[in-house]
Amino acid sequence: MTARKKLENELTKEMIIHEAHRHFIAHDYSKVSMREIAKELGCTHGAIYYHFKNKADLFYAVVEHYFNELNLILSECVFQEGNPTEKARNVLIEFIKFGLDHQSQYNYMFMKQDEEIDPLRQNASIESLHQFTKTIQKLYNEQLPNEEIFYIFVSMHGFVSHYAGRVENFEEAREAAERFTQYLIRALEKY
């Protein structure tokens, strides 16, 4: 059976995700309504429910992209120039940069605890921690205790979640982030 030809203005999941994304980066989950999104897509909100089972489902489809993006960023840090220390610090910086440049997403990826959303997101967020640990281990020839890396992760997470909402983007917290990552790496290497 050949795939049915899309009508002129037929809705696709991608179109919906794209539009939803625009709204979720601008406003909190609870402030974004399915009707708003539908309006801008030129359809009724009922149509969205044909493609996504509910609001949380649509939201997760949006956030999933960000997990992929973050994992990519982290894994690419290894191939940049510099010694292990510099590279490791860069991993931290990039993580923080991601967190502060995509605050709403970060919020949902790592912070928000909401039954409505959580089951879907749990795995992806653990996966990201794994990715982070693996990356750092590689830089230090697997010599560090995983626990020590976990401490770094947790602390870095604290930095992001503290500055989120207080600054608009990473740039505004760059200096603080640089000092903080220096502090973290120092602690790591003094171990």
Partner DNA sequence: ACTCTTATTAACCAATGGTCAATAAGAGGT
Partner DNA sequence: ACCTCTTATTGACCATTGGTTAATAAGAGT
Residues that bind a second copy (CB under 8 A): 28, 30, 103, 107, 110-111, 113-115, 118, 147-148, 151, 153-159, 161-162, 164-165, 179-180, 183, 186-187, 190
Sites for DNA among residues 57-86 (CB under 7 A): none
Q: Which residue in 34, 62, 149, 177 binds DNA (CB under 7 A)?
A: 34
Q: Which residue in 10, 142, 171, 189 binds DNA (CB under 7 A)?
A: 10
Nearer to DNA, 15 or 73 (CB): 15
Residue 101: CB minimum distance to DNA, A: 25
Nearer to a second copy, 83 or 113 (CB): 113
The angle formed by the CA atoms of residues 123, 84 and 71, to the nearest 5 degrees, is 20
Q: Which residues of 108-138 are buried (b: 16+ CB within 10 A; e: fewer)?
A: bbbeeeeeebeeebeebeeebeebbbbbbee
Instruction: Determine contact, residues 187/102, Cβ cutoff 8 Å.
Output: no
Q: Which residue in 22, 25, 45, 140 binds DNA (CB under 7 A)?
A: 45
Indicate whether 185 belongs to the interface with DNA (CB under 7 A): no
Nearer to DNA, 34 or 149 (CB): 34
Indicate whether 55 belongs to the interface with DNA (CB under 7 A): yes
Indicate whether 56 belongs to the interface with DNA (CB under 7 A): yes
State how far the Cα of 110 lies from the Cα of 48, in Å rounded to an integer.
26
Options 8-16, 74-82, 94-102, 134-142: segment touching DNA (CB under 7 A): 8-16
Q: Which residue in 14, 18, 42, 82 binds DNA (CB under 7 A)?
A: 42
Q: Check residue 164 and give left, alpha or beta (phi > 0: left; psi -120 to 50: alpha).
A: beta
Residues in the site for DNA, rule: CB under 7 A? 1-2, 4-5, 7, 9-11, 32-36, 42-47, 49-51, 53-56
